[in-house]
Amino acid sequence: MNLLNGKVALVTGAGDGIGRGIALAFAREGADVAVCARRVENVRETARLVEALGRKAHWGAFDICDESEIAKFCAETEQKLGPVSVLVNNAAVMPVVDIEDMSVEQFDECVGAKFKSAVFMSKHCIAQMRRAGGGSIIHMASVTGNVGFAKHAVYGACNSALIGLARGQAMELAPLNIRVNSVSPGTVDSPMLTRYIADCGEDPVALRASFDANHPRGKVASIDEVANVFVFLASDLSANITAQDLRCDGGFSFKGGQAAV
């Protein structure tokens, strides 16, 4: 449908999984896409896949918590692709740990990747969105920001912070024709879920089944099902939607429950 023709999108945490899925969904809809992540080989492959869809790509591998690196990457993106009009803050680190056992390093890594990066990515893309005539900022939040989970308190708090950040930014940036929203998926069939299950040390088949069972329709979301929500929020179809958190969780947050850990 070419919903994003003429747009330049920037997606963080796009080395694999949902971030890669969003980048490719944007490319299929006509956007040129800049992608960044920590691992060179992963993010370079995402950029290659974007180009294979006939769109321009720019990639970077760096510490998403470093503002100087963020500023450099955003400037490079405008030089190579044009001013950013869609920003997706998807980068995340998810420590699974009780608060009494959490280290300062785990805390800083989670807050830095999830929240700090969203603030400073936004900071360095706003001027570009002005030059583009407007834009859409979309923060990847999570059902954990709406429902409390054991061992996910800090991760959930970061997602709650992103929901609040979107609302404040939406009011601040509305006069510039920049919309800001967040998306809160439930569990997604992604590499992060696979790693999570492996790290838990439980029966992987039983644990995966418990994730599916906790969703009212009997299965977790696919990457494409989540990516489609981002396409909608990035496109002009959602021109009157700002300061919202879209719960793309299959009804999970209303059903309640948590897979055994």
Catalytic: which of 155, 211, 230, 252?
A: 155
- Helix axis angle, 117-132 to 153-173, nearest 10°: 20
Amino acid symbol at 106:
Q
Provide the CA 157 distance to its chain's centre, in angstroms: 16
Given its phi and psi angles, is residue 50 left (phi above 0), alpha (psi -120 to 50 degrees) or beta?
alpha
DSSP letters spanning 139-181: EE--GGGTS--TT-HHHHHHHHHHHHHHHHHHHHHGGGTEEEE
Q: Name the strands in the sheet holding 86-89, side by side, starting at the edge strand that comes first in the sequence.
A: 57-61, 32-37, 8-12, 86-89, 135-140, 178-183, 245-246
Note whether 176 and 130 are within 8 A (CB): yes
Note whether 3 and 231 are within 8 A (CB): yes
Active site annotation includes 196: no
The H or E element that residue 104 is part of is helix 104-111
Give me the active site residues, please: 155
